[in-house]
Chains A and B, each alone.
Chain A
């Protein structure tokens, strides 16, 4: 793709995700905030697609957009009343939030400027170069060096514990 088209696509995605994330934290209705969050997550999937990480993009959409946000919306359905408006935060909280955001920006900027990118001297990648699904699958399920079966199993154990915990809490009622 042309560098100009690349830049345009990147700028569109960037502006969209910035505006939507600000809307997600500033929106008054809880459900609207969740919807903006959904759109931000879709934009992130767009970034992954842009980087040719097709697998990650699909995971992003199916796990975050299709799973987590649906869970959020269900939780909002079950817990809040129609017409509930979020209370105004105190000024102190605004200051703390701004400080946290500034800190985050500072850390990211520091890492970005300090880090020496290995591929920065190389020619930019042209066309679509997908990573073969087989490579990802073997890396996820293998036991050798740079393969991730153990972390995968640990994470699934954590999820299992969460599920059992959820059932226990639901049973008590």
Chain B
């Protein structure tokens, strides 16, 4: 298997031979920051293109076709356009909070993105508390959304922000509980350990029924966390124009847009890491030659393939289901998903004690 730690170790050794330790660290930090930001932006462009294409196919259209072959350069053109747009001054907003809100949303998203394990050695920080860190940092985005809604001085944005806040806070619960089921199974919060443990069988196969239930709950709750699909009440365009980011323009709107798409990716990536084996190839016990063929595919590709599979599931749901009402949304969480995931934790405990 080709792991990316060869490359990262090579860079580290190279820097260490020519520079003192302090400077090496500094340069590595800067490099990592640049790489993370670039990957973040490029992934956003890819995701926007994928979403437009998939949406078009669901609606029997072709989607973007004009710019570049099959319209692949469309999102690049859109990026240039959004970078050049004017930042419109809104009358009587709270300017400091108005600007801070966009940054809070995107910082929360980047911090979560930075801790994802893309491959062995392609993992910025491998905290002992990995899963908990991801949950903690991603919860900061709620504050940004609430502040954006309030500081914009607009009724629609406030209603959108309130709905979004209620939705994010409630669905965070079943998100956390379903991740906890997997933490119980693997006995560790560290992302690299969780991935290493899935060499033989991915958690979704190893954990059996409770893991599958947890996976489905996580996909639903995570999807609701991204404010998309049937859960897009906060930005329901028929009632609220665009919800909490109605008043934003130019790159400030771009921040919200980027964070929304990357949150979709992050939710899919966390699902991949915890349930679908992260960067581990698909191994079936007993099928030796099959396993070896699977090992030849680089782990980074495995990671992105699985993540984009989860992204596709999210897009599928988004363009198929009609929007929920707010009472249905809260009922789904508090009366169905949360009790179910609590029961699921007990089921997982039973599974670990008696079946594994």
Interface residues of chain A, those whose CB is within 8 Å of chain B, are 1-2, 5, 29, 31-32, 35, 38, 42, 54-55, 58-59, 61-62, 65-67, 69-70, 73-74, 77, 82, 130-133
Which residue on B lies nearest to A69, using beta carbons? B143
In the complex the two chains form, is B22's CB within 8 Å of A70's CB? no
Among A29, A58, A133, point to the contact of B190 (Cβ < 8 A).
A133
Also in contact, A58 and B94, with CB within 8 A (given A66-B142, A133-B128): no
Q: 1/0 per position for B122-141, CB-CB distance to A under 8 A?
A: 00000111001101110110
Nearest-neighbour CB distance to chain A for B215, whole angstroms, equals 23
What is the bound-complex CA distance between A42 and B97, given in angstroms? 16
What is the bound-complex CA distance between A64 and B96, given in angstroms? 22
What is the bound-complex CA distance between A29 and B150, given in angstroms? 12
Interface residues of chain B, those whose CB is within 8 Å of chain A, are 22, 25, 94, 96-97, 100, 127-129, 132-133, 135-137, 139-140, 142-143, 146-147, 150-151, 153, 158, 161-162, 165, 169, 188-190
Which residue on A lies nearest to B136, using beta carbons? A62
Q: Which chain B positions have C-beta within 8 A of A132?
A: 128
Among B22, B143, B162, B188, point to the contact of A5 (Cβ < 8 A).
B22
In the complex the two chains form, is A77's CB within 8 Å of B136's CB? no
What is the bound-complex CA distance between A66 and B133, given in angstroms? 12
What are 17 A-B pairs at a CB distance below 8 A? A2-B22, A5-B22, A32-B94, A32-B96, A32-B97, A35-B97, A38-B143, A42-B140, A54-B127, A55-B132, A58-B127, A61-B139, A61-B140, A62-B136, A66-B139, A70-B169, A77-B150
Q: Which chain A positions have C-beta within 8 A of B25?
A: 1
Pairs A-B, 10 closest by C-beta atoms? A66-B139, A62-B136, A61-B136, A58-B136, A130-B128, A58-B132, A73-B146, A133-B189, A58-B133, A133-B128
How many contacting A-B pairs (Cβ < 8 A)? 78
What is the bound-complex CA distance between A65 and B141, given in angstroms? 10
Also in contact, A70 and B143, with CB within 8 A (given A32-B96, A58-B132, A132-B128): yes
What is the bound-complex CA distance between A67 and B142, given in angstroms? 10
In the complex the two chains form, is B129's CB within 8 Å of A31's CB? no
Which residue on A lies nearest to B190, using beta carbons? A133
What is the bound-complex CA distance between A35 and B150, given in angstroms? 12
In the complex the two chains form, is A55's CB within 8 Å of B97's CB? no
Which residue on A lies nearest to B101, using beta carbons? A35
What is the bound-complex CA distance between A85 and B189, given in angstroms? 45
Q: Which chain B positions have C-beta within 8 A of A69?
A: 143
Nearest-neighbour CB distance to chain B for A166, whole angstroms, equals 15
Q: Which chain A positions have C-beta within 8 A of B153?
A: 82
What is the bound-complex CA distance between A30 and B165, given in angstroms? 18
Among B94, B140, B162, B169, point to the contact of A29 (Cβ < 8 A).
B94
Given A35-B100, A58-B136, A74-B165, 15 more pairs with CB closer than 8 A: A31-B150, A32-B96, A54-B128, A54-B133, A58-B127, A58-B129, A62-B132, A62-B139, A65-B139, A65-B143, A66-B142, A67-B139, A70-B165, A131-B128, A133-B189
In the complex the two chains form, is B150's CB within 8 Å of A130's CB? no
Also in contact, A66 and B132, with CB within 8 A (given A29-B94, A32-B96, A35-B100): no
Also in contact, A70 and B128, with CB within 8 A (given A61-B139, A62-B139): no
Which residue on A lies nearest to B139, using beta carbons? A66
What is the bound-complex CA distance between A55 and B132, given in angstroms? 8
Also in contact, A31 and B94, with CB within 8 A (given A82-B153, A133-B188): yes
Nearest-neighbour CB distance to chain B for A97, whole angstroms, equals 24
In the complex the two chains form, is A31's CB within 8 Å of B136's CB? no
Q: Which chain A positions have C-beta within 8 A of B139?
A: 61-62, 65-67, 70
Q: Which chain A positions have C-beta within 8 A of B189?
A: 133
In the complex the two chains form, is B169's CB within 8 Å of A61's CB? no
Nearest-neighbour CB distance to chain B for A168, whole angstroms, equals 18
Q: Which chain A positions have C-beta within 8 A of B94?
A: 29, 31-32
What is the bound-complex CA distance between A80 and B139, given in angstroms? 24
Also in contact, A73 and B143, with CB within 8 A (given A31-B150, A62-B135): yes
Which residue on B lies nearest to A60, using beta carbons? B136
Q: Which chain A positions have C-beta within 8 A of B190?
A: 133
Q: Which chain B positions have C-beta within 8 A of A35?
A: 97, 100, 143, 147
Q: Which chain B positions have C-beta within 8 A of A61?
A: 136-137, 139-140
Nearest-neighbour CB distance to chain A for B25, whole angstroms, equals 8
Nearest-neighbour CB distance to chain B for A65, whole angstroms, equals 6
What is the bound-complex CA distance between A62 and B143, given in angstroms? 12
Also in contact, A65 and B140, with CB within 8 A (given A54-B129, A130-B127): yes
